[in-house]
Chain A
Amino acid sequence: MIEAVNVTKHFGDIVAVDRVTLHIEEGKVFGLIGTNGAGKSTFLRMLSGILRPDSGLIEIDGQSVFENPACKENFFHISDEAFFFLNATPDEMARFYETCYPSYDRSRYEDLMQRFELDRKRKVSTFSKGMKKQLSIILGLAANTKYMFCDETFDGLDPVMRQGVKSLFAQDMTDRGFTPIIASHNLRELEDICDTVGLLYKGGMLLSEDLDDIKGDIHKIQIVFSSNYDPSGLLERLKPLEQEKRGSLYTLIVKGDQDELKKLMLEGDPVFMETLPLSLEEIFITSTGVEGYDIKKIIY
């Protein structure tokens, strides 16, 4: 388990991360989302022991991470701009990592390189941005660490490759309790992979919850009431987070238990009623809007 308690980091006068408290459980995909400059990279760099927090505590499996090689053997950090040695080939990078990580799996590396059809003897400097990302992920998976910190790693991957990586992550999660922590500014990218998400805004953590909990508690309902029914009383009781009316069609986003909401709706004798799935984006827009944040400004 990764635990961050009241972690703060300043860069000069700028507060990059402000009193962030976070628990990341094992075996789940954690998505760290936020705009550019929200503090995602800084937070991941602190998780990786690159940066020392000004205050607060970061522990991975109960061990302090900063200047602790034993702790660092448990994770692999993929930076937003991954570093490769000058003129190095993937094999040379793999050999280097092999000396660093005790559980490094060379056969896994070779297998993945083959599956991703990357040339092991070619200089990494001649790889495209996407190929470099793929290589980083392969090296990270071959390192066989419990955790992997991915900073904007899915940017630059094509949809097929992204899907491939996601399934690799899923396989490792099942096989060995692998825990990826993925930082991104793109909600759509994380939607179908994350189990838990944390939203950073201006260095502070706005929320951190299981995606299923968020999704189970918030619903998008489209409903047409019978013409002689006045829904104002019902709408007052529902307290929708968002409400839109086009002709006789109401679109409501409401919080609460789905069955109870349905029962309530039926009181209005609807001629049409449908519950639609919400995108992660919509969930955040509505849920953070309640907290007083204009999420559209935060995310876009």
Chain B
Amino acid sequence: MTSKRSFTNTVKEDLKRRIWPLALSIVGFFFALPVLALIKVQDHISSYEALRDTLPQLQYSFVRFTIGSESGFALCGLMIMAVLNAMHGMKYLHSRQEADFYGSIPVMRTSKFSAAYLNGILIGVIPYIVMLLFAAALGASNGLVTAAGFLYGMQTMLIYISSYILIYTFIVLAAVLTGHGAVTVAAAGVLMFGLEIYAELLDSYGGMFFISKYSSFDGYTYLSPVTLLLRMIDTNDSININPSQYRYPAQSFVIVVISLIVAAALFMLTRLLIKLRPAEAAGRAMAFEASKPFIKVFIMIPTALAFGLFFPSISDSVTYGWMIFGLIVGIILSQAVIEIIYEFDFKACVKHLPSTAVAAVIVALTACFFVLDPTGYDTKLPAEGSIESSALYVPGINSDGYDYRYSYDGNTESEEERIMRDMRLTDTESVYTLAKSGTEFAKANRMRRKSHDAVYDAFDTVSSSYTEISVNLRLRSGRQFKRTYYVDLNDSANLDALRRIYDTDAYKNAEYYILSDASAYGPYGTDGIDSIQKISYESGNYETRDHELSSSEVQSLIDTVRNETRALSFDYLRNEAPIGYIYTETEVDHGSYRESYSVNIGYVYPSFEKTIALLNEYGIEAKAELYPDDIDHIIKVKFDDEGEHISEQIESGDEIKKLVPNLVKSNFSSQNYAIFKVAEDSNYEVYYRDSHMPSEIYVLKE
């Protein structure tokens, strides 16, 4: 079975038939990379003199927009070429004339396919690489691309190319599974987004029907090559804070490798399908008759579920009637549309009903799963004795404790996810008490057919006695049980349980970043305490005071904040709000440029006497409390239901003395909103004797 024709010849001959996509690719990337680079070079040179001090920023901006993660034109070009090359390269499968032609000549169909597939990659990738290098050379010759910048461009190239290959391969697979260009586009959409849509839909159903649904912020982007690419770029965006970050997080390169492995596996699958693909499929909607019912069912299920979700989502309650209506509409519409596309015949809309029945049964079972909750997702808890350790995240405690350096380092994990992963509470009984209360609440609301969103809106507010908590019960079996509950803190059992948990080191060490000993995301980053040059203290009204401190001064301050944070008690937090917060500013000398970033140290409470003393000792003015003698008058601004405000001036010394102990700074009053409540209907503008402007806005403790 040998042919005169080698694979190289087949590739060469195929390439001759792909001249116009090749030309388009070269021209497109020429404009998207070198021409864009020239424009940017010109822009940067014109601002060069004025911005000489910020050369690193100029370099970084140039690299980012021309060859880096925000080279949008190049990315768009690659995505367009992925679609175009896949469609053009595989169009021979969709034309009877071409299918007959290639089927009759002495060339293995797998060889022809592999050649067309390979050329599709080369046509997209080679011009991109060449033009990228050209653009980088243009930048380098003008001093705008450093070695680090070039490496960053190469990293971007790797990410873009792997995404190109993966997306291209998905479209090729779609082209092989179908026999018509228009259907290929639809099939490519199903293949690339199908799994993510499934996951998102099931998640949405969980969100609608399960009151205690725990939602990870991670999403399901890894299930689609397109959203995965966007995520990789987004990840990079979040770290693009300053010029030192000429790098992607390591996980991006793991994704690159996985993408290439998946693409290779898909290629092998497609190559196998080519062997089985009947030539008569050209011009038909679907190439494989046997695949039709499976694909139909695969599409019908999410379509029906989406319709089932759409109608009730308009209502606050879970209206089963509208959900059933939506499911039926989804089934009917998808049945009609799919069969019409399959047969290219409007009259075929009622054909092949057995597969429709299968889809309808699966949809009904799925809906029943969420409605009836047979596994007890919402209502059951694991046995208390089976719990090894647990984590508790209360958004309403230390609510603004997020540390920016953590995200700056390229992590996409949320504060909640970090705590749920790292917190190791051994007081199972207290966590179980809260979880049990949350389960009872979920049961009651399920009975009332309340949707998760409705519950969230009604109970997760600053003024509500109910608060949202997320628990992670780690079972001895290794399984993790994650739920989000609503618990009533007016219930003394819940309040006591939360108190017991809060007052443990295990809780605080995970909740307060400064107490965390996990070096991977420690508060000083990788540059160490010596790199901290400046301490800033914000005391409210966004008034900030900076001070340059020595390393030992910074160390003393951080140790003091740590000790006093550790000494905070639950009951204290129920009565006090922070008076300010401290953060560091760090400058790192990278030789040719310097970078700066901020790290949040923590909130300062009135009880932080040593911290306040130390701040004052370092020349940073910090006051633990308001002194009535310093106050000239206070203006109370009361808001009525229509949003109108009524002002009342309080000048009497006695009244001021009576009022002051109950005032807390408005900016920090919701830091622990789950357990510390303030009157939301009034603000208090405090005027000092020597000022005509209010120094701070305060609110009244409830």
Contacts and interface: CB of A to CB of B under 8 A. Distances in A.
Most buried by B among A11, A50, A52, A70: A50
Interface stretch (B1-9, B35-43, B687-695): B1-9
Interface in B486-545: none
Interface stretch (B175-183, B272-280, B412-420): B272-280
A83 B100 contact: yes
A66 to B, nearest CB: 9
A213 to B, nearest CB: 31
A79 B3 contact: no
A264 interface: no
B109 A67 contact: yes
Main SS class of interface, A: loop
B278 A79 contact: no
A69 B3 contact: yes
A49 B107 contact: no
A278 interface: no
Give the contact-size bracket for chain A: 20 to 34
B114 to A, nearest CB: 14
Given A99-B13, A101-B4, A72 B101 contact: no
Contacts of A85: 17
B606 interface: no
A79 B97 contact: yes
B100 A50 contact: yes
A248 interface: no
A100 interface: yes
Interface in A25-75: 45, 48-52, 67-73, 75
B2 A70 contact: yes
A78 to B, nearest CB: 9
Contacts of A79: 97, 100-101, 104
B290 to A, nearest CB: 13
A90 B96 CA distance: 21
B507 to A, nearest CB: 67
Contact of A68 (B1, B9, B105): B1
A72 B2 CA distance: 11
A69 B107 CA distance: 5
A256 interface: no
A257 interface: no
Contacts of A68: 1
B321 interface: no
Contacts of B2: 69-70
A116 interface: no
A72 B105 contact: yes
A67 B275 contact: yes
Contacts of B1: 68-70
Contacts of B106: 69-73, 100-101
Contacts of B13: 96, 99
B3 A70 contact: yes
Contacts of B99: 50
Contacts of B109: 67
Nearest to A47: B104
Interface residues of B, number: 27
Contacts of B9: 99
A52 B107 contact: no
Contacts of A102: 4
A48 B104 CA distance: 5
Contacts of B98: 83
Contact of B279 (A45, A76, A81, A97): A45
A96 B99 CA distance: 16
A77 B100 CA distance: 9
A67 B105 CA distance: 10
Interface in B1-35: 1-5, 9, 13, 17
Contacts of B95: 83
Nearest to B110: A67
A86 B104 CA distance: 19
Interface string B602-620: 0000000000000000000
B108 interface: yes
A21 B3 CA distance: 29
B288 to A, nearest CB: 13
B97 A67 contact: no
B103 interface: yes
Contact of A69 (B97, B100, B108): B108
B107 A100 contact: yes
27 contacts: A12-B289, A45-B103, A45-B104, A48-B103, A49-B104, A50-B103, A51-B279, A52-B278, A68-B1, A69-B2, A69-B3, A69-B107, A70-B2, A72-B104, A72-B105, A73-B106, A79-B100, A79-B101, A79-B104, A83-B97, A83-B98, A96-B13, A97-B105, A99-B13, A100-B105, A100-B106, A149-B104
Interface of B: 1-5, 9, 13, 17, 95-101, 103-109, 275, 278-280, 289
What 8 A-B pairs are tightest by C-beta distance, nearest first?
A: A50-B103, A72-B106, A77-B104, A69-B3, A83-B101, A69-B106, A48-B104, A83-B97
Given A86-B17, A100-B4, A100-B107, 16 more contacts: A11-B280, A45-B104, A49-B103, A51-B278, A67-B108, A67-B275, A68-B1, A69-B106, A72-B106, A73-B3, A75-B104, A83-B98, A85-B17, A100-B3, A100-B105, A102-B4
